[in-house]
Chain A
């Protein structure tokens, strides 16, 4: 059984309440940090742990914290990014729904480390039930003396608020999130200056994902050195993976980084294989913005070794044969799924969610969506395929924020690995109009039994 740090008590009845959460060891990290550690020592533990940002970018959290400017007399802020809306990713929603105090405890410890007196959890507006859950939990924590003035007699004050978003994927980008928190449209800011220098209200600010902040709790409880022992190489600790698509058991799983992808898909402890006895055709490993991989490259590296769930192993080979761990949004496509149709769907998403500030993204995402739509609906030309590659190249790297890259990579990678299927749509327009699902030859048949034998 894999070690669990965040979801260990997920099935305990009432774990969403302060009492049960404390019975299971909750708020020990707050007591330990505020009573026995200086803020710098907390930062040091997080640095030692090797924790990398769990929102997608994978930047070392402790290092990000140490960049925070600390001018005298200026407020500092911690903002939690709970604007989860990357297709394929639903782990933060799960964590907030079931163990809200894990996030709140992490917020208190992290705010203490950064010297923030006011912190905000920016939750996507659609998650109104989760907003209510967090508000209730914050009230409980405040009544118990974990928030407010002079917390646990330490002299440290902290106010924590939940801020609802308005329904915009772009607000998951940290500078767009700050703009939105200031009551504006979610247009990303040009960096530098980075939020660590000029963030919320122009003050030094750290923006961290829900899962990163929750992970600070076990790091403080057990020490950064202990956390670092879990995982593999520079991918330390555990990671929440949201699994969706054509799987026997989709859902949120906590894995130790370094788990073989094959075991994650096929073992009974995790996803239990591909639904309806089908074969695996392709995956998206880290949310819709990362490159799609065909089944064979999902399971094995180019040199034949097993691919692992880790930052390094998933990106092995660059974008030619690899992808990214991203936010941990794992989507599996079975042999009946049409790659062109799914690429079109993702393209529509990015077109809809582009903030419109940069021309390459605003115009390019719409262009890609249109071309993919006509390919999928039997009106495509062979030249459309290269046109898509060309447009994606012109978006990538040419925008203020990474949404442009996120829109370009799925299209470019789908054509890189599944070009035959795009050509099939041009050659067989009638079949594609009839809802035929492209080419199944990419699928890799792996029986559950074989995996068990290997183990």
Chain B
């Protein structure tokens, strides 16, 4: 759901704008709206989440209406329309992963991080959430961490705790 709140103005770095230009060139003349999903990924990777100011800027860049950006950003599960932790640990919670212990792993993460699904830890570092099938069913339980969507397979409680510790030290 879109949350309207007071937001800081956003600036896109020159590297981000160059990347947007490169992406827009992949499509035939006049079909630049195709660049919307990839550009939203790039913007989110730079800013951490998609505020309405950021989305308005994307709309202006692609010369489309802001609503065209909002409706896309709110449809797909990978775009964050609210601030989140620096690291979002996304655990696959679909059938095959649950057969090998994904639900227990999520219970453990809730305890380890001390926050419920979707909440952010007090230090702003972590959020976690269950996501649907990550196409790694033979190596479950699995989790991924954006913006590069680094993948961790065959997890157990201890491995997750070690991972959290390593991220904390970064």
Contacts and interface: CB of A to CB of B under 8 A. Distances in A.
Interface of A: 75, 84-90, 92-93, 118, 120, 124-129, 159, 161, 163-169, 180-186, 201, 242-246, 250-252, 288, 329, 331, 333, 337, 342, 345-346, 349, 352-353, 355
B137 A163 contact: no
B71 A118 contact: no
A434 to B, nearest CB: 15
Interface of B: 26, 28, 31, 33-38, 40-41, 62, 68, 71-72, 75-79, 93-96, 98-100, 131-140, 144, 146-151
A130 B134 CA distance: 13
B148 A129 contact: yes
A64 B146 CA distance: 37
A180 B37 CA distance: 8
A126 B94 contact: no
A88 B76 contact: no
B94 A349 contact: yes
Contact of A125 (B36, B68, B76, B93): B76
Given A167-B78, A244-B99, A124 B135 contact: yes
Given A252-B138, A331-B99, A169 B75 contact: no
Contact of A168 (B33, B77, B140, B151): B77
B35 A126 contact: no
Contacts of B100: 245-246
Contacts of B79: 166-167
A331 B150 CA distance: 25
6 contacts: A88-B96, A88-B137, A167-B76, A167-B78, A183-B62, A346-B94
B99 A87 contact: no
Contact of A87 (B38, B95, B150): B95
B150 A244 contact: no
Given A182-B33, A244-B99, A331-B96, A93 B76 contact: no
A235 B154 CA distance: 33
A164 B37 contact: yes
Nearest to B39: A183
Contacts of B41: 125, 164, 166
A168 B76 contact: yes
Given A166-B72, A182-B33, A184-B72, A349 B137 contact: no
A127 B35 contact: no
A182 B71 CA distance: 14
Contacts of A159: 26
Contact of A90 (B62, B77, B138): B138
B148 A128 contact: yes
A342 B93 CA distance: 11
A185 B36 CA distance: 11
Contact of B149 (A88, A92, A126, A246): A126
B136 to A, nearest CB: 5
Contacts of A329: 137
Given A245-B137, A331-B137, A342-B99, 19 more contacts: A87-B95, A118-B28, A126-B78, A128-B147, A128-B149, A159-B26, A164-B37, A165-B76, A183-B34, A183-B68, A184-B72, A185-B71, A186-B75, A245-B99, A246-B100, A331-B96, A342-B95, A345-B98, A353-B132
A288 B75 CA distance: 23
A181 B34 contact: yes
Contacts of B147: 128
Nearest to B142: A90
B15 to A, nearest CB: 17
A169 B132 CA distance: 9
B137 A242 contact: yes
